Chains A and B, each alone.
Chain A
Amino acid sequence: MNTFTLGLVVVIYLLVIAYLGYRGYTQTKTAKDYLLAGREIHPFVMAMSYGATFISTSAIIGFGGIGGVYGMGLIWLTALNIIIGIFIAFIFFGRITRRMGHNLDAHTFPEFLGNRFQSKKIQIISGAIIFVSMPLYAAVVLIGGARFIESIFEIDFSLALTFFSIIIAAYVIAGGLKGVMYTDALQGTIMFLSMFFLLIVSYVKLGGVSSAHEALTNMANLVPESLQAKGHEGWTAFPKMNSAWWWILTTNIFLGVGIGVLAQPQLVVRFMTVKSNRELNRAVLIGGIFIFVVTGFIYTVGALTNVYFYRESGQLAIDAAQGNVDLIIPNYINSAMPEWFVYLFMLALLSAGMSTLSSQFHTMGTALGRDFIENIFPKKKMNSMLISKLGILVAIVISIIIGYKLPGGIVARGTAIFFGICAATFLPVYFGALYWKRTTKAAVVWSILAGLLASAFALGFMHLKESEPLGICQAIFGAPTIASGYPWMIMDPIVIALPVSVVVLVLVSLFTENVSEEHLGKCYRGIK
């Protein structure tokens, strides 16, 4: 790869990003502009921004690599991402969220919950949870992006991290959500085009769709013994029922990532950025195609890399990548794709990281500024835009510090931890806010706290992947987990925390006082 050409491509890309950020800045005059993109975003921009925020670099490199090791079972994640993450999310959650958010003049997800239940306490608690848990997730994406820049440009990691953070900080702080969503739309388009091309060229190289799949099916006898022991029965076969990989796939990936997406604050807020349900209807079409191509194509290519490497060097993809799952996709791109595509793919990876990070920074900043600080000092009139800008700056600094200071094992698990916490703390109350009028203020507070505590307990003491690097369980009980035996120690914390949160929400709602009928009338005005 020619460093000068790559540098030139990246500079042009950054100039376009700077222009879009500047457009966001010039069009941002009020808090509504800064926090909700003026509630007038185009459906294409909304759908691409939703998709690009949803899919980070780790979804492409990480899950693509997992596809290379474990095969096509991951396609179920694409099915869930489209059916739950787009179809159900937009139609059954998005439409009501948009109208109710409008009725309540909510500007953020915590403010939506707070206004729905007439409770500043709920807004403050939700904002605090987001602000505390999200930097871990942001640190994962930030470090991933910085490592990527470090390896491509052969520069120092600290320099890469600083450079990457400053660029994103500039357009998020200046342009607000408009800057974020405009740049997301460009970044999503780059991701879409590169994944589309990647699959087509891969099939052409491997002799066509059926021939490529058949070749992969015929490689089942090459599955290493260590993977067979985990339930791997071939790259075109679903893992053996009740095996370790079966549990990981069904609970961690399907439940944690597939369902966890419904209550992600940075995604929910996008429903409130469009003018009417017509825009959301249009965004369903665009978002569905985007997720199908970006996730479905990379998971399929991930598995097919085995055919390519076996034909070229007699090795499995993971062996060709020297055992590093994250190197499978980059290794394949460098070996199998034309040089010009390598540049496009680099931009796609950069885009995936930047689009996710910019939304995370914006959400964390508004959670600290608008939801937390403004409500902690209610008597003081504050400029929401300014306070959110300061919040974003603080969030960026904290994410960088976490990336540097926390143990690598914990940071690497940041995405799963955040998704799990979000699902357990916010999904039941968000559903209740939209669909169960009997949901009470007290129940929401208790459900959020119960979900949070149950998640923390499962993460700290049961789920081995987090409890081991955290070390709390080891310090107290002398063992890395108290979950005695299989499959509890590998089962995602959401399996425990989500039911706890649901039960608390229902039970407390049945025994506590609801908000007034008049307020309910206001919330549901115009909602059929």
Chain B
Amino acid sequence: MLGIHDPGIILGYLFSILGLVACVVYGLLFWNKGVATSEEIQEDLEWENKDHQLTEEI
């Protein structure tokens, strides 16, 4: 195939392309899925405040 005859190398290229396609398809399918929950955002804010307090204390 394309000047390469050894199945060991052809498979290597096919798996690389397969991996690439899997990454692209997954990325596109889940592009907008998994946004942060309000609970996570709240926790982030609390930690940020804690962080600021600690920095000021030190």
Contact = CB atoms under 8 A, between A and B. Distances in A.
Interface of A: 29-32, 39, 71-73, 75-76, 78-79, 82-83, 86-87, 91, 95, 102, 105, 209-217, 233-234, 236-238, 275-278, 280-289, 292, 296, 381-383, 385, 526
Contact of A73 (B8, B39, B55): B8
Contacts of A82: 16, 19-20, 23
A140 B28 CA distance: 38
Contact of B9 (A209, A238, A283): A238
Interface string B1-36: 011111011001101111110111011101111111
Contacts of A213: 2-4
Contact of A278 (B8, B34, B43): B34
Chain B interface mostly helix, strand, loop or mixed? helix
A526 B37 contact: yes
Contacts of B32: 278
A174 B55 CA distance: 17
Contacts of B57: 381
B3 A86 contact: no
B35 A288 contact: no
A383 B51 contact: no
Given A39-B44, A83-B22, A285-B27, A211 B33 contact: no
A234 B31 CA distance: 42
Contacts of A216: 3
Contacts of B20: 82, 288-289, 292
Contact of B51 (A32, A75, A95, A212): A32
Nearest to B26: A284
Contacts of B22: 83, 87, 288
Nearest to A78: B16
Interface of B: 2-6, 8-9, 12-13, 15-20, 22-24, 26-28, 30-37, 39-40, 43-44, 47-48, 51-52, 54-55, 57-58
A284 B17 CA distance: 14
A75 B5 contact: no
Among B6, B39, B43, find the residue whose CB has the most chain A CB atoms closer than 10 A.
Answer: B6
A383 B55 contact: yes
Given A87-B19, A286-B27, A526-B39, 9 more contacts: A72-B12, A78-B12, A86-B23, A214-B3, A238-B12, A276-B34, A278-B36, A281-B31, A282-B27
A289 B28 CA distance: 13
A217 B3 contact: yes
B23 A285 contact: yes
Given A526-B37, A526-B40, A282 B31 contact: yes
Given A277-B34, A383-B58, A83 B19 contact: yes
Contacts of A39: 44
A216 B33 CA distance: 45
Given A30-B55, A285-B26, A73 B12 contact: yes
Nearest to A525: B39
Contacts of B13: 75
Contact of A31 (B9, B16, B39, B55): B55
B37 to A, nearest CB: 7
Given A213-B2, A237-B8, A281-B33, A30 B58 contact: no
Contacts of B15: 76, 79, 83
A388 to B, nearest CB: 13
Contacts of A87: 19, 22-23, 26
Given A72-B4, A383-B58, A236 B9 contact: yes
A233 B23 CA distance: 33
A76 B36 CA distance: 36
B34 A79 contact: no
A383 B55 CA distance: 7
Nearest to A33: B51
B6 A236 contact: yes
A238 B13 CA distance: 12
25 contacts: A29-B52, A29-B55, A30-B51, A30-B55, A32-B47, A72-B4, A73-B12, A79-B12, A79-B15, A79-B18, A79-B19, A83-B18, A87-B22, A210-B3, A215-B3, A217-B3, A233-B6, A236-B9, A275-B44, A277-B35, A280-B34, A281-B34, A284-B26, A381-B57, A381-B58
